[in-house]
Amino acid sequence: MSLDRLKALSPEPGEVATAELVVTDDVLVKAFALGPGAALDPHEHDASTNVFHVLRGTVTVVQGDEEEEIDAPGVVLHERGVTHGARNDTDEVAVFTASLCPLPS
């Protein structure tokens, strides 16, 4: 699969742009581009594992009460039921994918 769709994601400061890259009956891979200062609000998936793949820039990953800056290339596992989110504290656009499996029913 080509990742050309990622090139089209160019959010303004404070904005989040998204694109679905893979959607099947049991997995979702979604791309997120965070403009400077943008955030993906903390949330959880009770019945699914979620994995972030940081592709460009630096993403501050929030997991529970902890935060960690992850530089590209980087991978972060979010176990089922763990609250997680992401934030861009830099002046550049940050891009990551989130893989969710299995899809919630």
Q: In the chain, count of helices (H) and strands (E)?
A: 1, 9
Q: Give the Cα separation of 104 and 25 in Å (integer).
A: 10
Q: What is the pLDDT along the chain (105 residues), one digit of tens a residue?
A: 456 777 778 899 999 999 999 999 999 999 999 999 999 999 999 999 999 999 999 999 999 999 999 999 999 999 999 999 999 999 999 999 999 999 876
Instruction: Tell whether 6 is covered by a domain.
Output: no
Instruction: Tell whether 1 is covered by a domain.
Output: no
Instruction: Tell whether 83 is covered by a domain.
Output: yes
**Structural domain span for residue 53:** 19-101
Residue 63: which CATH number? 2.60.120.10
Instruction: Tell whether 4 is covered by a domain.
Output: no
The total domain count for the chain is 1
Q: Which residues are CB-neighbours of 38 under 8 A, at least 6 positions away?
A: 11, 13, 14, 15, 16, 87, 88
- Please provide residue 4's backbone torsions phi and psi, each rounded to the nearest 5 degrees: -60, -30
Whole-number pLDDT of residue 3: 65
Structure tokens at 75: 């991978």
